[in-house]
């Protein structure tokens, strides 16, 4: 199969990342079937998708007819079996190796043999996920960035077993969505998070040590380095639970203290202060 032959895409998980992937695929003219395990989570995902499409119209990035057409190209389901006829599947579940592997293992027995299984993991080595399937040559990392509709990058990560044809297919697919791709070796964290996580953890440690307030730490970076967002606000945007999970994966893989999750990060996640999605993190929303 070629990238231009993809007509129907499956997305497993419609949280912040999954809903964004559904949105960009639907806006690109593709049919999208998305799956969550419960009707309640499915409805939350649908509402998130509708909300983002309305924001795109309000911002002038989409006209109302395009919004309605994109929404009409999507449908939800609570069973993975609904993905039996798709041409490509993107797993966008929580950043947990066992959960992702279980999903890929189940999909392996549902979709056609030639279908590529892509994971939106931000940190987990692809080989460890591909090993759960009988098609490791057709398992690949396809890491989108938040917010998906506005971030142009996708990290493509083949494992040692991923075929060249699979890599070519997903890179072409990403271009159809208007994205730019970079290719990473199959190491935990890939490119962006190998650089980002020590930066975010370092800022959290400075805050915990009382070096500066959260506001001053972020201002130092936005005004001093001209970054569009400070590290603590960025961590809140990513989700502190995701930052913690990614840091744990990186620390387990490399053993570098720079990747070790700061105690303050663990305490905040334990208290449910996850950032923007919970209304409170290092800042209030």
Tens of pLDDT, residues 111-168: 999 999 999 999 999 999 999 999 999 999 999 999 999 999 999 999 999 999 999 9
Is 213 annotated as catalytic? Answer: no
**The two three-digit tokens of residue 91, written as one number:** 């797993």
Contacts of 155 (CB under 8 A, 6+ apart): 141, 142, 143, 181, 182, 183, 184, 190, 191, 192
Cβ(177)–Cβ(149) under 8 Å?
no
Q: How far is Cα 174 from Cα 185, in angstroms, rounded to an integer?
A: 18
Q: Are 10 and 36 in contact (CB under 8 A)?
A: no
Residue 146 a catalytic site member:
no
Instruction: State yes or no: is 128 an active-site residue.
Output: no
Closest of 124, 147, 149, 103 to residue 10, by C-alpha = 103
DSSP letter, residue 284: B
pLDDT at 14: 95
Q: Are 206 and 196 in contact (CB under 8 A)?
A: no
- In a shared domain, residues 69 and 148: yes
| Total structural domains within the chain | 2
* Average pLDDT value for residue range 241-250: 95
* CATH classification of the domain holding 220: 1.10.1040.10
How does pLDDT run across 255-266, given as a tens digit for each residue? 999 999 999 999
Residue 246 sits at φ, ψ, to 5 deg, of -65, -40
Of 151, 183, 215, the last residue of a domain is 183
Residues 141 and 211 reside in one and the same domain: no
Based on the fold, state whether residues 24 and 160 are members of the same structural domain.
Answer: yes
137 with 163, same domain: the answer is yes
**CA pair distance 34, 12, nearest whole angstrom:** 6
* Residue carrying structure tokens 């506001």: 215
Catalytic residue selected from 31, 95, 155, 171 = 155
Indicate the SS3 state at residue 231: helix
Task: Give the pLDDT confidence score for residue 172 in this predicted structure.
Answer: 98
Q: Which of 183, 205, 230 is the last residue of a domain?
A: 183
Residues 20 and 157 in one domain: yes
What is the pLDDT at residue 21? 98
71 lies in the same domain as 207:
no
Q: Are residues 175 and 92 in the same domain?
A: yes
Q: Which of 154, 183, 212 is the last residue of a domain?
A: 183
Domain containing 208: what range?
Answer: 193-277
Whether residue 251 lies in the annotated active site: no
Residues 202, 172 within the same domain: no
Residue 1 in this model has a pLDDT that exceeds 90: no
Q: From the candidates 31, 36, 123, 143, give the one annotated as an active-site residue.
A: 143
């Amino acid at each position: 199969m070629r990238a231009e032959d993809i007509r129907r895409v499956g997305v497993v998980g419609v949280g912040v990342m999954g809903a964004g992937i559904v949105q960009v695929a639907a806006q690109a003219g593709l049919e999208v079937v998305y799956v969550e395990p419960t009707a309640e989570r499915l409805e939350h995902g649908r509402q998130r998708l509708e909300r983002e499409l309305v924001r795109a119209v309000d911002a002038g990035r989409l006209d109302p007819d395009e919004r309605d057409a994109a929404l009409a190209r999507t449908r939800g389901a609570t069973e993975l079996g609904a993905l039996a006829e798709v041409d490509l599947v993107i797993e966008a579940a929580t950043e947990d190796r066992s959960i992702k592997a279980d999903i890929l293992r189940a999909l392996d027995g549902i979709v056609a043999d030639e279908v590529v299984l892509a994971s939106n993991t931000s940190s987990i080595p692809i080989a460890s996920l591909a090993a759960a399937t009988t098609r490791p040559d057709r398992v690949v990392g396809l890491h989108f960035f938040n917010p998906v509709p506005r971030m142009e990058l996708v990290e493509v990560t083949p494992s040692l077993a991923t075929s060249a044809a699979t890599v070519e297919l997903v890179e072409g697919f990403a271009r159809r969505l208007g994205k730019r791709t970079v290719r990473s070796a199959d190491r935990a964290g890939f490119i962006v998070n190998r650089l980002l996580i020590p930066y975010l953890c370092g800022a959290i440690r400075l805050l915990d040590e009382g070096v500066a307030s959260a506001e001053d730490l972020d201002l130092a970076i936005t005004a001093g380095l001209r970054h569009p967002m400070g590290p603590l606000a960025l961590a809140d945007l990513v989700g502190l639970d995701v930052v913690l999970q990614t840091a744990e994966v990186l620390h387990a893989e490399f053993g570098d203290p720079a990747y070790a999750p700061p105690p303050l990060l663990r305490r905040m996640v334990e208290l449910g202060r996850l950032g923007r999605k919970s209304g409170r993190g290092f800042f209030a929303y």
